[in-house]
Structure 1
Amino acid sequence: MRKVLIVDDESWVVESLKDLVDWNQYGFEVVAQAHNGAEALEVIKELDPDVVFTDIRMPEMNGLELIQRGRSVSSRIQFVVVSGYAEFAYAQKALTFGAVAYCLKPFDEIEISGVLMKIKKTLDGAQPVQDFSLMHLLDELSAENQSKLREEFRKFHLSDWSTTGFVAVVSVGPRELPDFYEPVLKLKIGTSKTAYLFGAGEVESRRRKWIDHFPPGTKGIGIGAITTDLSAIKDAIAIADVLAHQFFVNARAGVFDARSYRQDELNKRMLDMKEAIRDKDLKKAQVVFDELESLFLTHELSVRHAFQVYNMTVSFLFGLGQSENILYSYEQLIQSYPDVSAMLDELRKLTARYMRSSDSPSVETKNQTFNAILQFVTSHFNEDISLQDLSDQFFMNPSYISQLFKKEVGETFTAYIARIRIANACELLNADNLSVHEIAERMGYHDYFYFTRIFKKITGKTPTQYREEHR
């Protein structure tokens, strides 16, 4: 077994990476962990690991220095950088220092498995690896890998791809697409996603079959454009992947083909949104939301534009800077909302709450990962959120999230949720003619008497007393 060392100053990262894949399956064993570069360097000297997964930003010695100094101990060590979105540039720099790969948090099982297979091949002296990762070939389209891809095409009877072309198709769902009688090359690209490479001549008949008899359990099928360029395969799959997730925008399962979208219109609307939020102009913001919803309903924007709308709006509201600091991918949006209209509705409410209150609780700390958690809680405060829900959403240990709340905001998760709910309840008591019972329901309290107890504990008054005094 090849020895692996995992280095990260946050214990949840180490544990999540350890639990993510079956290391033994690929011939590896996690033999140690360290929480800073200096500690890791000592472990390297003692255990002589074959592979080191390391974060970039750590106390005492950062990941870049660890790579440099670790290579002086043993030049054969394979370093893999694990990075948050905000450290993306550092990860690129690490590659020039000799890292063999970088992986973004939260980790993707397929990506880590591919990296391990690549490293195994290197450590085994470039001997062929059984069941090699086709995605690895796509990542590194050297002359040798292009030759291997051509061989794969011949193996699956796609030998005429260079003249008639091929098409990338991606399906989203728990099962692969059924009943393939024509030549097709399949790639598993996610836990619920499969990519297929068809000869261009077979796609149209297959498309008609999918439309007439849509595969049960499938959410979306994305069909890319015809290409004859091997170097374009990865991009073609990425485009088909976005198209397959268009069910989020269309609010229905279906087959989705390549088309052009209105990025220019989105840019204009988001500029208007930025100005509306800056000026706290709720009426203008609602107009922008209406315009955005119209663009989505007429299918002029894609799921990736939904990703941009969500992250940019939250960034405008809470001053979080570039969207790279926000750990929401378009796939996470799909897990959080049934469709784009529900997402926009939540953003409308969030924007209205922000503009109606000049003293809304801050949702930014120095911990970028925790900022993403606070954004989520602020957006969903009136839902039944638990620490376990946050754990599932952000791949962290529940007890660690609880510790972060106490450390970063000075109160427990439960107290933080209650404070936000009661602050918004006060706004509704001032502004609306809703009954106290209706306000309690809107704030996520299904027990009226429990709501009044919490309200009085935080404000010193009952909801009725508060409304009478402020009217």
Structure 2
Amino acid sequence: MHKVLLVDDESWVVESLKDLVDWRLHGFEVVGQARNGAEALEAISELEPDVVFTDIRMPEMNGLELIQRGRSASLPVHFVIVSGYAEFAYAQKAMNQGAFAYCLKPFDEIEIAGVLTRLDRMLKEKKAPSERSLVSLVGDSGTDGESGRRLREELRKHGVLEREADGFVAVVSVGTGELPRPAAPCLVFKTGAAKTAVLLGSGRASAVLDDWQGALPPGVKGVGVSRSIADAALIGDAIEEADALAYHFFIAREAGPHRSLPFREAELRQALAEMSEAVREKGDAEALRALDRIEALFREGALSIRHAFQVYNMTVSLLYKLGQTETILYGYDQLAQTFADVFEMMDELKKLAARDLNQAEPAGAEPRNRTFDSILQYVTGHYREDLSLQSLSEQFFMNPSYISQLFKKEVGETFTAYVTKLRISRACELLKKGDDTFQEIAERVGYHDYFYFARQFKKITGATPTQFREAHS
């Protein structure tokens, strides 16, 4: 939401302007009001509005002087004049000084709505390059010293780093809701369709997190907090750590904020090794005992969603080697959408292991190649969607494990690898010929998390999205 400050010495004028239009419908929120230019300057400094609607004739400091003072101080705010016919000459002066628009009293709803529409468009266009630059800097921060240096400059400019030794933390929220913006200096930007990252100085983080504890807004499913780091080149790693912790609601069944814990990874590795051996020997009882030990670690809070992701994909991959269904998941979000929590996931893995370790070959006769051609054509046309072997099975009335085997036989790679290559190939085309943000491109090719997209992109192309765009511009 863009923030608006209303300035007029007559309170009834302010109230009528507040009630005239649905500000939120147009992307705006009225955050305050002032009776004259002097009060307005203080409010601008405190509230940091994007837009100020101001009268011209007011006591102490009029609207013209307010605009002049705002311009001389380089305040990042746009002014809209609201006045009557008698002040039209003053309004012309205000427009010459850079006011965005002039609205007559008495107010007309259509006129105000039109001004808000134009303001919304301009503010979005103005903010987009800044956010795009910041996300790309974070994505590239570990690739060379220049990106890390520029990112550190951004952190200092926004007051996130008061001193070199302070360091900072990354906070990631997951869900459609938005965290209250901290009063402390911070950087806030979207990393996915339903993910927001906040960078805070370490010294201020505790107070901010205490404010959020137990009082998260509706729609915020989880919040994760990284460890404190001092090197801007590691900020991508910090966001990745906070991202995994934001999904700890999948394990702990509460939203957080969740911080880094000493996870018991050695015990997990041992249990996974035992399960791998059991699957190889088709020992269903041994495999189930290993899964029980892993579930106990989750119940004790000794593992994270990163480990749940590893357990799920490794288990189904082991079963896939026996000829069973390949149902690899792409990210934490898909895992959390597939299962209510990690314990439902573990129940499903136990059922799969008990069933599949007792049958090595899928049922059903081999379909003709033209049937697979239809499947391939469908996948090529729908790869931007959340495809899975199960959804293909329902679409084509075939055994999902058999579809998985056909991909290996006919195209020489797994279903997951094939879809990933389609997505990254299309992303390359968009990076070459368009000016969309990296996040927009990620979403257009089927990824809801920019940083997961960036990792897949670099894995396949050998370059980050920024490097690829620069090389082909």
Give the TM-score, by structure 1 length.
Answer: 0.49
Bigger radius of gyration:
2
Give the TM-score, by structure 2 length.
Answer: 0.49
